[in-house]
Structure 1
């Protein structure tokens, strides 16, 4: 603890800053995690939408290609009208409820085969983009138009899937086209839940909107070209970012996905308020708790500082007086240092040996974690008393070194004598039979390191402790519940 009352105030302020910084870091990380989850969910949803639309488009295209193959067969086109229709538009081509009609047009844009009418309807479609684009481009392949209001069914808005039909010499013979109802896309997206304010937009890669969900009566052929968020995507190729809608002013998390096989883009855009709904409530909770904690801490620090001024002298006096470890009743570390130095000097003067045992309770942290700190304190006390009972000669010092570590100083004792004391301590600790399920021995045991003044590495009292500590590590490495002696104190390891 700080030795000056003012340090309490400084420390409490510093700690408050740390707490506040930690709370902010937690909130920032939580916000980033919420964003990452929302992006991942949007990407997964976009993949599912892409897969479903691509699969449906491929099935539709297969029907169109079959009709194109038939239309390019002169024998098929010479068949009677009803047989020709059956061959060109078989049941697989008309099974989908979302295909309004399949048409085969000649080079002038006149319907020559109509899947929904026994007699082809008399409508000139030569001016339609899906017709002219095939007429002018022999190698176009499948063409998907923008949403168009049907000329055959004025109440419908369709996407037109079309392919070119050629004469045997490769010249333009007409077009096979399928009118695909937008109801398919509405039904596909109707089960999606993006929360309040969320929106899904399906558009072609040139920016023309196919469908927006929830359905807001988007006008046919709406174009996103020039809109801020769409242009940001096209310019930077960022697939996820926060942006403000130009339509309603709401901030959303925009997630773009380009289809691999179709010239389409889907935009998943949940509202920012929905993305951060849980985070916002958590932020309020953490903010209030942190504020109360800091205020309480500063208030308590002020009271403590005042009280500390009055008690500082008394505490200092008591600290100087106490020489006993409050938990175990053994000599404390401060007293150990003083008394060990005296015994070291006495040993050097008299030439008589001095031995030191370093005792460490095996796997004590696991014991604390399993049985709790109260049980740990009880175990520490019991082991300390067992050590004390086996070091009762005049001049022997049994001390708590720190945590679960103890030191026994044995004046006028050589390595052999120290090994005997170590064995007695092992036996006494095992006799306690304190259950320890996390230990390989089933009960609390100790590892002991032995050092003595005969050891070459021992140049002073501190070195004596260091050598004994190193011996403890060897005992633990050898399986614990052992004594390891530094040469020439005794054998390298003695199993008890």
Structure 2
């Protein structure tokens, strides 16, 4: 019986570290490495593009804030002028010496500050019934009643209304021109309602102001009263001006803080925008600037498409190139492996050649000496092979050698057992960790298998191709060299031939 032997499924001549290095420099490593590099490049590109997208949003937010501040300051400056004009009229009406002046002088004195203001319609003084009693446009007041306007009713009903900004309306004195009004209350000495002073502002003022502010093709800018009434919106829509949007989600956010920004979808046109809003500190107004999300990301999207396409093409090209390189490397490694196999293998029989046999013998012999294990060797020789060649030709001889080699290979099954062509019609089988009896049994199986091939050999005494086998074994108690084991197996082979061929002979080294 052969003693158990360590697993030799992994060749001992290729240690784990060498296999790892070989894998790391192999075609698969190149391909997977290229995938990792492409993934890293794509990740870096995606990170940069994501940061660029974030920066685009931040720039849009800052731009909206700047636009809102510009519009706010312009509106505050002009409304302050209008408010001063109203206050001057209120104060003048309370002075008896002013009221005693002739109408044209009184009109010049009271309405002088408003005369040079842009986009003003008219400044009127209304009595407690809403009738025009003084008119900046004429010494003789135009006949009209505005008791139904909100700028009148709010002042009438609320003594503390202060400066009131009306909802948009169509002027009855200026052919329906869209306007808003600023009004202040006039009170009698006892505090009762005496009428109002109002000034009409043409909405064209907001048109001109907003037209000079760039917000992209889908941007919007609005001035909204704090009660939710839309005073002006750019792009202009007459159906939107004057609408109450106090129920909209955007307006609720406008009233939640002094200023801020957020993303939301407009209740007016359904466009998603970045809103920046600011409540006027001195006026009951809200300025809102909104850039459309598609406009904010338009330049970024073009840049991302260009960079992403180039990076994608580069990554795919890199992976494809790595794949081609890996394929070429695989072919080269396969060719080198085949060359190495050819260099270590006998081309006719497919068994190890004599050079490889020397390496195997050296390795297994040193291992056997270290482990103090039994080492056996078989020397196989085809009987009367020269006569076979002469009779049947060299091609038939080659076929017979190949058939015998297959028989030898099929009858040594352990991974550590090795067969090699020693030269001509001679073969050597190396059997590490195999006792003499086990070696003999294997030799007998090989001999019998060769005989059962039944290859015709008329020059042989057996009428078929046969083989003689010499077996030699080394035991730990002996102190000899591997060449002596080979000589012993060779001597046993000669003994087998001398005893009639087609048999196995054993000789201890």
TM range (shorter): 0.5 to 0.7
Give the secondary structure class of the aligned counterpart of 1:29.
helix
Q: Is structure 2 residue 164 aligned with structure 1 residue 143?
A: yes
Do the aligned residues in 2 keep the contact of 1:165 with 1:174 (CA within 8 Å)? Answer: yes
Alpha-carbon distance in 2 for matches of 1:290, 1:156: 57
1:170-209 correspondence runs (5 A): 170-209=191-230
Q: Is structure 2 residue 295 aligned with structure 1 residue 283?
A: no
1:444-463 correspondence runs (5 A): none
Give the secondary structure class of the aligned counterpart of 1:216.
coil
| Matched residue, 2:278 | 257
Alpha-carbon distance in 2 for matches of 1:97, 1:3: 81
Counterpart selection for 2:266 from 238, 245, 248: 245
Deviation per CA, 1:376-427, whole angstroms, max 9, x where unpaired? xxxxxxxxxxxxxxxxxxxxxxxxxxxxxxxxxxxxxxxxxxxxxxxxxxxx
Alpha-carbon distance in 2 for matches of 1:141, 1:234: 21
| Matched residue, 2:41 | 19
Alpha-carbon distance in 2 for matches of 1:108, 1:202: 31
Do the aligned residues in 1 keep the contact of 2:165 with 2:181 (CA within 8 Å)? Answer: yes
Do the aligned residues in 2 keep the contact of 1:149 with 1:156 (CA within 8 Å)? Answer: yes
Do the aligned residues in 1 keep the contact of 2:275 with 2:289 (CA within 8 Å)? Answer: yes
Give the secondary structure class of the aligned counterpart of 2:63.
helix
Do the aligned residues in 2 keep the contact of 1:72 with 1:167 (CA within 8 Å)? Answer: no
Give the secondary structure class of the aligned counterpart of 1:269.
strand
Q: Is structure 2 residue 110 aligned with structure 1 residue 88?
A: yes
Counterpart selection for 2:324 from 270, 280, 303: 303
Q: Is structure 2 residue 178 aligned with structure 1 residue 130?
A: no
Give the secondary structure class of the aligned counterpart of 2:311.
helix
Q: Is structure 2 residue 179 aligned with structure 1 residue 161?
A: no
Do the aligned residues in 1 keep the contact of 2:122 with 2:200 (CA within 8 Å)? Answer: yes
* Bigger-Rg structure (1/2): 2
Task: Provide the TM-score with structure 1 as the length reference.
Answer: 0.59
Task: Provide the TM-score with structure 2 as the length reference.
Answer: 0.57
Q: How much has 1:136 moved relative to structure 2?
A: 2.4
Q: How much has 1:67 moved relative to structure 2?
A: 0.5
Counterpart selection for 1:216 from 237, 258, 277: 237
Select the structure with the greater relative contact order (CA < 8 A; seq sep ≥ 6). Answer: 2
Give the secondary structure class of the aligned counterpart of 1:76.
helix
Alpha-carbon distance in 1 for matches of 2:42, 2:248: 41
| Matched residue, 1:418 | none
Q: How much has 1:238 moved relative to structure 2?
A: 7.8
Alpha-carbon distance in 1 for matches of 2:217, 2:165: 32
Give the secondary structure class of the aligned counterpart of 1:241.
strand
Q: How much has 1:128 moved relative to structure 2?
A: 2.3
**Structure 1 pair 120–40 and aligned structure 2 pair: CA distance change class (3 A):** same
Alpha-carbon distance in 2 for matches of 1:103, 1:65: 13
Q: How much has 1:312 moved relative to structure 2?
A: 7.6
Counterpart selection for 2:123 from 99, 102, 106: 102
Do the aligned residues in 1 keep the contact of 2:104 with 2:139 (CA within 8 Å)? Answer: yes
Q: How much has 1:313 moved relative to structure 2?
A: 12
Do the aligned residues in 2 keep the contact of 1:129 with 1:145 (CA within 8 Å)? Answer: yes
| Matched residue, 2:395 | none
| Matched residue, 1:77 | 99
| Matched residue, 1:399 | none
Q: How much has 1:229 moved relative to structure 2?
A: 3.1
Alpha-carbon distance in 1 for matches of 2:211, 2:135: 31
Deviation per CA, 1:67-121, whole angstroms, max 9, x where unpaired? 000111233223332232222212x222123111111122222222111122112
5+ long unaligned stretches in structure 1: 316-496
Deviation per CA, 1:153-176, whole angstroms, max 9, x where unpaired? 342122111111222333322211
Alpha-carbon distance in 1 for matches of 2:159, 2:257: 34
**Structure 1 pair 262–178 and aligned structure 2 pair: CA distance change class (3 A):** same
**Structure 1 pair 220–307 and aligned structure 2 pair: CA distance change class (3 A):** closer
Q: How much has 1:314 moved relative to structure 2?
A: 13
Do the aligned residues in 2 keep the contact of 1:72 with 1:165 (CA within 8 Å)? Answer: no
Give the secondary structure class of the aligned counterpart of 2:24.
coil
Alpha-carbon distance in 2 for matches of 1:74, 1:236: 45
Alpha-carbon distance in 2 for matches of 1:310, 1:122: 103
Give the secondary structure class of the aligned counterpart of 1:270.
strand
| Matched residue, 1:474 | none
**Structure 1 pair 183–238 and aligned structure 2 pair: CA distance change class (3 A):** closer
Do the aligned residues in 1 keep the contact of 2:258 with 2:278 (CA within 8 Å)? Answer: no
**Structure 1 pair 306–190 and aligned structure 2 pair: CA distance change class (3 A):** closer
**Structure 1 pair 311–238 and aligned structure 2 pair: CA distance change class (3 A):** farther
**Structure 1 pair 286–238 and aligned structure 2 pair: CA distance change class (3 A):** farther
| Matched residue, 2:55 | 33
Do the aligned residues in 1 keep the contact of 2:259 with 2:278 (CA within 8 Å)? Answer: no
Q: How much has 1:123 moved relative to structure 2?
A: 1.8
Counterpart selection for 1:271 from 292, 298, 301: 292
